[in-house]
Chain A
Amino acid sequence: MPKLFTGAEIVFKALEDQKVEYIFGYPGGAVLPIYDELKNHKSIKHILARHEQGAGHAAEGYARSSGKPGILLVTSGPGATNAVTALTDAYMDSVPLVCISGQVPTHLIGTDAFQECDTTGITRPCTKHNWLVKDVNDLARVLHLAFEVATTGRPGPVLVDIPKDIQFKKGKYKFFKNTLKKKINGKATHKISNIELDKFIDLIKKSSKPIFYTGGGVINSGPQASKHLRELVSLTGFPITSTLQGLGAYPGDDLQFLGMLGMHGTFEANNAMHDCDLMINIGARFDDRITGKVDEFSPGSKKIHVDIDPSSIGKNIKVDLAIVSDVSELLKSLIKRFKEKNKNFLNSNKQKTSKWWEQIEKWREKKSLNFINSDKLIKPQHAVQRLYELTKNKDTFITTEVGQHQMWAAQHYKFNKPNRWMTSGGLGTMGYGLPAAIGVQIANPGKLVVDIAGEASVLMTMQEMSTAVQYKLPIKIFILNNEYMGMVRQWQELLHEKNYSESYTAALPDFVKLAESYGCVGMRAKTPDELDEKIKEMVNIDRPVIFDCLVDKAENCFPMIPSGKPHNQMILGPEEEKEISDEGKILV
């Protein structure tokens, strides 16, 4: 007779066997038996958030900075619905999350019971898979399968809904390993053939205007993938650009790196994408913020696409060579094969790409990230640059909210390592950065974690400062405060005749006092001359800090590709934008 365990015990046994150290969650009626069991499992620490969305983003920050899945524990009904934004965010950005939710007892399901909702129905489109466990003897199998689905192939969130009576009931426990027999779900079981590799190498050798276009898939493939990428880029001598999610996979300060591409990418990256004859997409998904107008996207190039998810290939852009594979696996085999046959490629190929590099240098000379600085007002770009300069020698982790500040952070903060940059790209969730910073700090104790924030975004999940204080997490909330929803205001200025409909926030809180009321440190910088000292002070405080950085209220984020335009038609700055040039001059 095997030993029997309660459903709640089975949950923890499974978490222990999966080597889980932290759970982010919030208790409630339908999940109490699991919370009751928590005390018996000392190796697992629970982080109490202040809202389930906050718990979800914290779990995302934990996952993205550690490479391990993030665990989320919420109650039924509102607990589950509050987690939906975080689950959708994780789904869009391929972050492995395992969400365990309580549910009303099985006999009450379907009766509109207190705090009942159709959790599996609601979360079906925003998870890789979800389960409602109606038999306690299924629980162990389902939980281990949940971890496997979340972490294999293209990672993503999963949800296990456990009715309260199942948490009490006794059943068998067994550790199921590798239960997922399916080979096709974007799994890394695809054998890379030499034919594919030779085609790949052939395209590399034929190209005179190549570019690497890399994305979050490189990060998700693990630190080895970044190493291999660096090796391949240096072996070929080709230029490389990265998506928002891929930043850090390749050193941001390297000469071969052209900066980020896309709507707010650099002039050189976008023009190189448009004019190249070979585009090597590694772990990116031709997102609409990258391609702009699909019909005019890089019209003259051959395209290679490496992705672990077969449905990402050919979804938006047709490609010439498609390889379904884990990035790290592919790069490893590719480099090996490439080296065998092309001993002195870098030197022998220099001639072939020299004109291309000359052209790229001409684009670079535009210095598209430049802005007109001021000695009276803090320019937001200047603030990010100073933050970078003053923190680059530490192993700094950056999270962001969503909007102008996010783009300025991506443009001006240079990342040299993977897993150091956590931002909500696919879903674009305002309020992501603060709770994400909490998760990052949990996974990386002793490291500097900064949330580059906007004042509008950060107010959406501000309650999580309380979590940071409770667990003594010295996260730094660096708010670029322009009193506007900056990106909304920018679009209204450029496209809606400056009708700033509802994008100004009147009655903002005093962030310094707000910080103090949470029991953390509040700081404010008003002018450029005090900025450096204040940033240094912030970095040295070993407590959570809210830094209210008052910036130019009218600054716009350039360069940008206007909607409906191809990559080679960028707006570089206010001087190109006649309509706003007068106002722009007054302000600087």
Chain B
Amino acid sequence: MAKSKSAYSIPGKVGKIERHIIVVWVDNEAGVLARVVGLFSGRGYNIESLAVAEVDKKKHISRITIVTEGTPQVIEQINLQLKKLVPVHKVADFKRGEKDILFRELALFKMLANSKKQDKIKKICKKFNPVVLDKTKKSFVIQVTALRAEIDKLALDLKRLGLISTSRTGSVAMTKGAKIFN
């Protein structure tokens, strides 16, 4: 008899994990985010970040951008399952590193730092469109926009310089050129 003590089949080979950015256009109605997020949790898919806001006030369309990881098979399932949801209008899927797509994430960092340190921090953030939003003698809040990985690295660097609080939006995406998602 089989060694397995389960009435279920044993897991097969697992494919290579890829990171994808999935953009979903939905009717902005009650519970729609729960439907999308519930699909991910219910089927065991992963959400690394999620950004959502209404983008069309007249038609009440929201745009959700989800960063996720999975095997090609899982990513395909995510796309197909999302398309089955009634309030979902369309779904676009991009592999990380695709050329024609722009990705950006916005982060706010609150630092405990005197003015000397503050200059150093600004220097580190220079490449990432830094904007100082609030400033006191002891602290300041700086806004940057960059790729996810860049913000990851920046947050690490800033830790040494007095970072006490981080807030990030999660990635949003847009195509380059005149083309739009469809």
Tell me whether A294 and B30 are in contact (CB under 8 A): no
Residues of A within 8 A of B13 (CB): 295
A494 to B5, CA, bound (A): 9
Query: Residue on B with the closest CB to A145?
Result: B86
Residues of B within 8 A of A124 (CB): 31, 34-35, 38
Tally of contacts, chain A with chain B, CB under 8 A: 78
Tell me whether A495 and B1 are in contact (CB under 8 A): yes
Residues of A within 8 A of B89 (CB): 182
Query: Residue on B with the closest CB to A565?
Result: B2
Cβ < 8 Å to B, chain A residues 258-314: 288, 291-295, 309-311, 314
**B136 adjacent to chain A (CB < 8 Å):** no
| Distance of B31 from chain A, by nearest CB (Å) | 6
| Distance of B68 from chain A, by nearest CB (Å) | 16
Tell me whether B31 and A310 are in contact (CB under 8 A): no
Residues of A within 8 A of B12 (CB): 293-295
With contacts A311-B80, A314-B73 taken as known, whether A293 is within 8 angstroms of B10 at the C-beta atoms is yes
Residues of B within 8 A of A182 (CB): 86, 89
Q: Say which residue of A186, A295, A494, A571 sits within 8 Å of B84 (CB atoms).
A: A186
Residues of B within 8 A of A294 (CB): 9, 12
**B180 adjacent to chain A (CB < 8 Å):** no
Tell me whether B9 and A310 are in contact (CB under 8 A): no
With contacts A294-B12, A315-B77 taken as known, whether A132 is within 8 angstroms of B1 at the C-beta atoms is no
Tell me whether A563 and B77 are in contact (CB under 8 A): no
**B95 adjacent to chain A (CB < 8 Å):** no
Tell me whether A185 and B84 are in contact (CB under 8 A): yes
Q: Say which residue of B9, B30, B73 sits within 8 Å of A291 (CB atoms).
A: B9
Contact with B along A384-418 (1 / 0, CB 8 A): 00000000000000000000000000000000000
A165 to B150, CA, bound (A): 53
Tell me whether B2 and A309 are in contact (CB under 8 A): no
With contacts A124-B34, A125-B38 taken as known, whether A185 is within 8 angstroms of B9 at the C-beta atoms is no
Contact with A along B81-93 (1 / 0, CB 8 A): 1011110010000
| Distance of A251 from chain B, by nearest CB (Å) | 31
**A149 adjacent to chain B (CB < 8 Å):** yes
Residues of B within 8 A of A315 (CB): 73, 77
**A496 adjacent to chain B (CB < 8 Å):** yes
Residues of A within 8 A of B3 (CB): 564
Residues of A within 8 A of B97 (CB): none
Contact with B along A564-588 (1 / 0, CB 8 A): 1100000100000101000000000
Residues of A within 8 A of B85 (CB): 129
Contact with A along B65-107 (1 / 0, CB 8 A): 0000000010011001101111001000000000000000000
Tell me whether A494 and B10 are in contact (CB under 8 A): no
**A4 adjacent to chain B (CB < 8 Å):** no
**A105 adjacent to chain B (CB < 8 Å):** no
| Distance of B26 from chain A, by nearest CB (Å) | 12
Tell me whether A185 and B2 are in contact (CB under 8 A): no
Tell me whether A562 and B2 are in contact (CB under 8 A): yes
**B4 adjacent to chain A (CB < 8 Å):** yes
A188 to B35, CA, bound (A): 24
A397 to B18, CA, bound (A): 49
Tell me whether B1 and A496 are in contact (CB under 8 A): no
| Distance of B52 from chain A, by nearest CB (Å) | 17
Tell me whether B2 and A564 are in contact (CB under 8 A): yes
Tell me whether A293 and B9 are in contact (CB under 8 A): yes
| Distance of A124 from chain B, by nearest CB (Å) | 6
**B6 adjacent to chain A (CB < 8 Å):** yes
**B44 adjacent to chain A (CB < 8 Å):** no
**B8 adjacent to chain A (CB < 8 Å):** yes
Tell me whether B4 and A563 are in contact (CB under 8 A): yes
**A184 adjacent to chain B (CB < 8 Å):** yes
Cβ < 8 Å to A, chain B residues 1-60: 1-10, 12-13, 30-31, 34-35, 38, 42
Residues of B within 8 A of A291 (CB): 9
Contact with A along B105-149 (1 / 0, CB 8 A): 000000000000000000000000000000000000000000000
**A128 adjacent to chain B (CB < 8 Å):** yes
| Distance of B32 from chain A, by nearest CB (Å) | 11
**A115 adjacent to chain B (CB < 8 Å):** no
Residues of B within 8 A of A186 (CB): 84
**A463 adjacent to chain B (CB < 8 Å):** no
Residues of B within 8 A of A563 (CB): 2, 4, 6-10
Query: Residue on B with the closest CB to A293?
Result: B9
With contacts A125-B38, A577-B1 taken as known, whether A311 is within 8 angstroms of B81 at the C-beta atoms is yes
Q: Which A positions have Cβ atoms within 8 angstroms of B? A: 120-121, 124-125, 128-129, 132, 149, 180, 182, 184-186, 288, 291-295, 309-311, 314-315, 318, 491, 494-496, 562-565, 571, 577, 579
16 additional contacts (CB under 8 A) given A291-B9, A293-B10, A563-B7 = A120-B31, A129-B85, A182-B89, A185-B83, A288-B8, A294-B9, A294-B12, A310-B84, A314-B73, A494-B1, A495-B5, A562-B1, A563-B2, A563-B6, A563-B10, A579-B1
Pick 8 A–B contacts, CB within 8 A, sort by A: A121-B31, A124-B38, A132-B31, A185-B83, A295-B13, A494-B1, A495-B2, A495-B4
Q: Which B positions have Cβ atoms within 8 angstroms of A? A: 1-10, 12-13, 30-31, 34-35, 38, 42, 73, 76-77, 80-81, 83-86, 89
Which 9 pairs between the two chains have the least Cβ-Cβ distance? A311-B80, A295-B12, A562-B2, A294-B12, A129-B86, A564-B10, A564-B4, A563-B4, A495-B5
